[in-house]
Amino acid sequence: MIDTDPGVDDALAILLALASPDSLCVEGLSIALGNGKDIRSLGSNAKLLLRLANASVPVSLGEVPSEGDPSEGAVVSRKGMKPQLVHGADHLGNVGKLYGKCDADYQHFHPLPAPEFMYDLCSRFPGEMTVVCIGSLHNLAKCLESHPDLPKLVREVVVMGGAYGERRGNRTPCAEANFFDGPEAAQAVLTADFPKIVLAGLDITHQTDMRVLRQACVESPAPLSQFVWDLCENFMNVYHDWGETLAPAHDTVPIMYLLRPDLFEGQEVRVEVETQGCLTRGMSIADWKGQWGKAANCVVLRRILDPDAYTQSFVDAIGRLPRSD
């Protein structure tokens, strides 16, 4: 199942997963706050993506955390510049209505809230479920709090979150957005004794480039190539305004890891998340030197071994959409 706050890179990740039914069976989408302030609006984005892909997957809405609003990640400022909506006003690159988003997309979600929906799925498929988290970790942490046996039911957890090398943060100088939006939730998940946790931080997500992916798609005959092109425009423009040389397709990395683990180099290490620091709240700390003396709890993805194969795998997947089933 994919726990997501459907913004632009989330959309690319969801399409990538839905396009690969021979490798991944997506049993459900759960919605977390992060790229937007309205949980139903984010859920409606998921509904639109499912319709574009001709896929039938239940969508469950997450619970809004009681302490604060973690959704301010939708608005980011750099170097004193005017704050910008990275994912657009609709959190989908401002192209939702153009591609048929409608009032019905805001309705008929799964009756269970996301944490219980997670547990229900994992209970029905014990030892088989991979939980992919590409937003804040509130839903998974809440599920864990209510059901301490959850780690015994899950095959692995794959997370887009944190930063473990030179790129310390994108929300603050030291914190990546998904972990900053819920440091306590991230810390709870990372220390919960899941059988396997794989982390894709900013260091590896910045080895992808949305510009390259969308150009390769539009040069192919894929029916959804124009959607991918339009979807990415606002996101890329914001990164360009910031002076960045690329626009990372962050959330595609966890899904691509599941599809093509051969494309990645990773390293086992102990990772925890700072929850208290006035300057470092949300910072992900990897104990590369073993100074804590604690056992490794995560595999941190460090390098994409073949960027061209990554791009081709993405393009091939998009070319299989919409699905015929």
- Residue 15 lies in domain: 2-318
Does some domain include residue 115? yes
Quick check: is 225 in a domain?
Answer: yes
User: How far, in Å, CA of 145 to CA of 143, rounded?
Assistant: 5
Give a yes or no: residue 325 inside a domain: no
Question: Rounded to two decimals, what is the model's pTM?
Answer: 0.95
Domain count, the chain: 1
Tens of pLDDT, residue by residue, the chain (325 residues): 999 999 999 999 999 999 999 999 999 999 999 998 899 999 999 999 999 999 999 999 997 755 544 444 456 666 666 778 889 999 999 999 999 999 999 999 999 999 999 999 999 999 999 999 999 999 999 999 999 999 999 999 999 999 998 888 998 999 999 999 999 999 999 999 999 999 999 999 999 999 999 999 999 999 999 999 999 999 999 998 888 889 999 999 999 999 999 999 999 999 999 999 999 999 999 999 999 999 999 999 999 999 999 999 999 999 999 987 7
- The residues, any chain, with a CB within 8 Å of residue 197's CB and separated by 6 or more, are 156, 157, 158, 159, 189, 190, 297, 298, 299
- Contact in structure between 133 and 181 (CB atoms under 8 Å): no
Query: Is residue 114 situated within a structural domain?
Result: yes
Which residues are catalytically annotated? Answer: 250
Let me know if residue 99 belongs to a domain.
yes
Rounded-to-integer distance, Cα 173 and Cα 153, Å: 36
CATH classification of the domain holding 120: 3.90.245.10
Contact, 210 vs 248, CB < 8 A? Answer: yes
Give yes or no for a contact between 84 and 141, defined as CB atoms under 8 angstroms apart.
Answer: no
